[in-house]
Amino acid sequence: MTSLGRAAAAGLLAVAPGADISAAQSRRVPFETLEVAITVFTDLNHSRFHDFWDPGLGFEALVEVPFYFGAAQVGLQQFQNAARLSTVPDFRSRFFYTGWSADVWLGGKARWTGGIQAGVFHMRFDADTAPFAGRSEPSETELGLGATSMLQYRLGDRWYVAGIARYQLVLTDQRIRRLMLGAGLSRQFTTPPWLRAFLD
Amino acid sequence: MAARLSGLILAIALVAARESVAQEARDSSGFVQILTGELLRTANLARVADLLLLLDDWDVATVDGFTWQAAPRGVTPYQGARWLLLVDGQRIDLDLFGNTNLNRLPVPLEAISRVEVVSVPELHHGEFATAGLIHIHTREPASGLSAGGWVTRGSEIGDPGPFAFTSLATPNVDRFGDDASVSVAYGRRRWFAEASARTGEQFATDPAIVDRYATATGSFPTIKVRGQRVRLGGRLGSALHQVTYQRSSVDNVFLLDPIEAQLPTKERFEQLGLTGTFALAPGRDLRYSLTRSVNRTEARRDLLAADFGWKATTSTAGLQFASFRLTAGARIRHVEVETPQEADPEHVTTGSVYGEVAVAGTWAGAPALAAALTAASGEIGVAAALRQRWQLGAHSRLESVLGYARTVHADDNSIWAWSERGYDLLQELGAAVEVRDPPGRSQQVTADLAISARLGPGASVRAAGFWRWLDGLTVEQHALRFVAAERSFEGPLQVTGDAGGHMMGGELTAAAQVLPPLRMRLAYSTVWAIAGDDSFGDAWATVPRHLLHYAVEFRPVANLDLWTMLTYRGPSHWSDFAAVEAESAGAYAATVPGAIVLDLAVQKWFWKRRLRAHVGFRNILGSTLRYHPAGATWAPTVLAQLEARLE
């Protein structure tokens, strides 16, 4: 990744909330809205994991609702990790997670959001490739954790564009450490009453 | 309809509560720890035996995380534990050679509404508990049709992940497994019926045990459990009756202590129980209880030079009268054991009479005296407990319990006791066992004193101390050697049937509700063997001297719980493993290190509390958490749990 990318990520991670968080959150009634976001990610760093695999571009779908404090999230992130060596198989990773975030309006149409995620990192190995020969388990799961810093800009009443930096840690014996940069688009909806009653 | 069923359930509860005033006092006394069903949901439990990790003054040991040994405060070490297990007032005879594994219980975790844990001598539902008691109460069914389900999936961190295909590969970690249960119930005005089933499996793949377990099972070492339970209850005239049938089956790996052999076993348990209460007059009732249980284990593979099998059939009949201040009852209990070694079953029959008298509060306090006499094979056993309570002020009180017990041989369910009765397995195997003294009749004198005060709304503090004299304990001392090929152990065994000594200890608990949604609870207990012979001291050294729990529960809104608990377990020393430590280059150390463990959980209810989602983390600090020198080390673990309750 270029130094420009790293600088952009560092900038996103370094943004500190300068406004009153509680005031920002007090405007949001729990489960009143649903925000659906689509994000494209790419890795910035090069860790031991990247010696063996190239994650390429990944995609994420996220649903966020205002919670009793901050916001609650559920999301799914997917990467197709291409083998860099002939001795390891390609594999698809899916990160199913729940998260929590808090946001601060920075003035005008911009807001900063910080969040944490925890979930299951599911790996499905390509069983048709030679490195898989002799193995019986094509998939494995492990706990994954994440921390996100995001800058959003409002477009109209309900649309947002975002720049996102995320640090992701998968707690395999040899940890998978990834610093990712992403760009996303989201839209806010009013939660249907039946769904709001279910969630509350 | 709901009101009528509530009336029936209330009647059941009132009859149970009317057994005696003393019983009521015990329920509210400081000597009984109560775990609520809500706590069991919040506190990261996956299986029933996990509740032992929440107890203030019991400690636990386990090799594989499925079979747990428990040691109540200063009464018995892990060896020869004689604590009793009750479910809905019925004694459950799960004991296999001195080990009662709660995970063999057919009752699913979701069905539990409350757990009472007793650590002092007392008469409890007709059973005189001299060495601790756990009483599990299940939830009464709702009116009409109801159903529930619970799924838990857990995994330790540290799998190799994609690195399994590289030179950085490490062994796979699958040490927790999955558990699930379902239940369905139907309640009407005068009767109810419910059925439940549970299933679960655990993978014994920790590096410390996987070779032994894989050798024993001859395959991937998985422990599997299945359980079913059916309960019917109803009112006939003025009487309430309940009949319960439950059974479980476990594909386990059983540690046959005397020869340190890991045996792949099929452990089956089934019990049929009928209980009923006749209301004679306001405040007076007559209760009967009939149970028959079969507790058996058999080898799944022939690994021994002799057949291994065990089938104990226990039949119990009891009758009890209870009024506000008086309880009196009698019980007869017959145990029949069949083994491949004996053509004719061995029999043990015991008869007991018991009673309790409670005196209304006077200047001398509010005493309650309970006693039981047990007769078997020409022996008479005695148990007595004098409980006293003084109200020191509007919000403080002092309580004491003095106890004495002398058991009969028939109470002893250890393999040594059965060997004395003719069970020849160990002789057939040619086990290197030296029995110094055959199992005797154990005796104990106990004294407990506790002072407690309510400091304000939601805030309380309690300090307690105890002394015990124990005699006639059967303890084993192994001179184990390390067998490197299977990472197992072998060595001669010495059995002492009259170990004894003195124990002292104390406990401090404090609870506070700082803000309405924030509750905290601190519990510290310590136990010391202050005098006694070497075997007594060695047995107690395996129990950590110090145990501390600090739990915080934060419930900012009704349907959201955040829970955390910090636990400190002191180190313990297992002298049996002294030689193993050197021979295994420290892989199996005789001293199990102390550990500071932090658990976290977040739980959210949905759909008007019909659905619950729970995510929990155990040992999030990654402490070296081990419960036995030959056992697994528990890495950080994540648990995900879903529950549905449709009522």
Chain B residues whose CB is inside 8 A of the A88 CB are 162, 165-166
Q: Where are the beta strands (DSSP E) in B40-130?
A: 58-62, 68-72, 84-87, 90-91, 112-118, 122-124, 127-129
Which of A22, A91, A172 to mutate to test binding with chain B, by most B CBs within 10 Å of its CB?
A172
CB–CB contact A48 B168 (8 Å): yes
Chain B residues whose CB is inside 8 A of the A143 CB are 155, 157, 636, 638
Which of A142, A145, A169, A176 to mutate to test binding with chain B, by most B CBs within 10 Å of its CB?
A142
User: pLDDT, tens digit, for every residue of B536-547?
Assistant: 999 999 999 999
The model's pTM: 0.90
Q: Kindly give, in sequence order, each residue whose CB lies less than 8 Å from that of residue B188, ignoring residues fewer than 6 positions away.
A: B1, B4, B5, B143
In the prediction, which pLDDT does A6 show? 54
Three-state secondary structure string covering B400-411: EEEEEEECCHHH
Going by C-alpha positions, the residue among B9, B281, B309 that lies closest to residue B137 is B9
CB–CB contact A140 B159 (8 Å): yes
What does the mean pLDDT of chain A come to?
Answer: 87
* Nearest CB to A88 within list B166, B172, B560: B166
- Helix, coil or strand: residue A51: helix
Q: Are A118 and B615 in contact (CB under 8 A)?
A: yes
Q: Are B560 and A68 in contact (CB under 8 A)?
A: yes
Residue B641 corresponds to which tokens in the numbers above? 């749990």
Q: How far is A11 from chain B (nearest CA, A)?
A: 30
Q: Where are the beta strands (DSSP E) in B394-458?
A: 396-406, 433-435, 443-456
Chain B residues whose CB is inside 8 A of the A197 CB are 607-608
Q: Are A41 and A181 in contact (CB under 8 A)?
A: yes
CB–CB contact B606 A171 (8 Å): no
Q: Name the band, by pLDDT with cuts 50, 70 and 90, for residue A193.
A: very high
How far is Cα A132 from Cα A140, in angstroms, rounded to an integer?
A: 13
Q: Where are the beta strands (DSSP E) in B516-559?
A: 518-532, 546-557
Buried b / exposed e over B464-499, threshold 16 CB at 10 Å, is: bebebbbbbbbbbbbebebbeeebbbbbebebbbbb
Question: Measured between CB atoms, does B161 come within 8 Å of chain A?
Answer: yes
In the prediction, which pLDDT does A137 show? 72
Task: Report the alpha-carbon angle B160-B176-B78, nearest 5.
Answer: 125
* Nearest CB to B161 within list A131, A170, A197: A170
Chain B residues whose CB is inside 8 A of the A120 CB are 640
At residue B646, what is the residue type?
A: L
Residue B389 corresponds to which tokens in the numbers above? 């309570």
Beta-bridge partner residues of B597 = B567
How far is Cα B572 from Cα B562, in angstroms, rounded to an integer?
A: 32
Alpha helices in B51-105 (DSSP H): none
Beta strand pairing status for A139-155 and A159-170?
A: antiparallel
* Nearest CB to B160 within list A48, A69, A173: A173
Which of A22, A143, A177 to mutate to test binding with chain B, by most B CBs within 10 Å of its CB?
A143
Question: Measured between CB atoms, does B559 come within 8 Å of chain A?
Answer: yes
* Nearest CB to A172 within list B163, B557, B559: B163
Checking if the pLDDT of A8 tops 90, the result is: no
Chain A residues whose CB is inside 8 A of the B633 CB are none
Question: Measured between CB atoms, does B103 come within 8 Å of chain A?
Answer: no
Closest-CA residue of chain A to B164 = A88
Burial tier of B434 (Cβ tally within 10 Å: 0-12, 13-18, 19+) = exposed
Question: Measured between CB atoms, does B638 come within 8 Å of chain A?
Answer: yes
Q: Name the band, by pLDDT with cuts 50, 70 and 90, for residue A127.
A: confident
Beta-bridge partner residues of B567 = B549, B597
Give the C-alpha distances (Å, rounded to integers) separating A160 from A5, A186, B294, B407.
21, 5, 66, 76
- Overall size of chain A counted in residues: 200
Q: How far is B643 from chain A (nearest CA, A)?
A: 15
CB–CB contact B155 A140 (8 Å): no
For CA atoms B65, B69, B71, B77, the dihedral sign is: negative
Alpha carbons within 13 angstroms on the beta-carbon side of residue B82 total 28
- Overall size of chain B counted in residues: 647
Chain A residues whose CB is inside 8 A of the B560 CB are 68
Q: How far is B557 from chain A (nearest CA, A)?
A: 8
In the prediction, which pLDDT does A7 show? 52
Q: How far is B166 from chain A (nearest CA, A)?
A: 7
CB–CB contact A131 B559 (8 Å): no
Task: Report the alpha-carbon angle B441-B442-B445, nearest 5.
Answer: 140
Closest-CA residue of chain B to A121 = B161
CB–CB contact B170 A123 (8 Å): no
Beta strand pairing status for B546-557 and B560-569?
A: antiparallel
* Nearest CB to B166 within list A52, A142, A197: A52
Question: Measured between CB atoms, does B162 come within 8 Å of chain A?
Answer: yes
DSSP classification of residue B53: G
* Nearest CB to B161 within list A68, A176, A197: A176
CB–CB contact A142 B157 (8 Å): yes
Beta-bridge partner residues of B72 = B58
Beta-bridge partner residues of B245 = B230, B272
Which value does ipTM take for this structure? 0.86
Q: Is the model more confident about B644 or about A107?
A: B644
Chain A residues whose CB is inside 8 A of the B163 CB are 52, 172-174
Which of B600, B638, B646 to mutate to test binding with chain A, by most A CBs within 10 Å of its CB?
B638
How far is Cα B491 from Cα B261, in angstroms, rounded to an integer?
A: 11
Backbone angles phi, psi at B361, to 5 degrees: -60, 130
CB–CB contact B607 A198 (8 Å): yes
CB–CB contact B162 A53 (8 Å): yes
Chain A and chain B share a number of CB contacts under 8 A equal to: 76
Chain A residues whose CB is inside 8 A of the B622 CB are none
Question: Measured between CB atoms, does B157 come within 8 Å of chain A?
Answer: yes
User: pLDDT, tens digit, for every residue of A17-57?
Assistant: 444 444 444 457 999 999 999 999 999 999 999 999 999 99
- The residue whose two tokens read 């395999």 is A172
Going by C-alpha positions, the residue among B318, B241, B239, B242 that lies closest to residue B285 is B239
Residue A74 corresponds to which tokens in the numbers above? 């559920």
Average pLDDT over residues A142-146: 94
CB–CB contact A199 B606 (8 Å): yes
Which of B153, B157, B175 to mutate to test binding with chain A, by most A CBs within 10 Å of its CB?
B157
Give the C-alpha distances (Å, rounded to integers) separating B369 from A79, B15, B31, B387.
70, 21, 16, 6
CB–CB contact A173 B161 (8 Å): yes
Which of B159, B172, B620 to mutate to test binding with chain A, by most A CBs within 10 Å of its CB?
B159
* Nearest CB to B159 within list A49, A172, A199: A172
Give the C-alpha distances (Å, rounded to integers) separating B225 from A46, B85, B120, B250, B502.
45, 19, 32, 4, 39
Chain A residues whose CB is inside 8 A of the B615 CB are 98, 118
Regions of chain B where pLDDT drops below 70: 1-29, 174, 343, 363-364
Average pLDDT over residues A84-112: 93
In the prediction, which pLDDT does A11 show? 52
At residue A164, what is the residue type?
A: I
Chain A residues whose CB is inside 8 A of the B170 CB are 173-174
Q: How far is A195 from chain B (nearest CA, A)?
A: 9
Chain A residues whose CB is inside 8 A of the B608 CB are 197
Question: Measured between CB atoms, does B621 come within 8 Å of chain A?
Answer: no
CB–CB contact B161 A172 (8 Å): yes
Give the C-alpha distances (Å, rounded to integers) separating B493 from B47, B382, B586.
33, 31, 22
How far is Cα B647 from Cα A4, in angstroms, rounded to an integer?
A: 58
CB–CB contact B170 A173 (8 Å): yes
Going by C-alpha positions, the residue among B339, B375, B350 that lies closest to residue B96 is B339
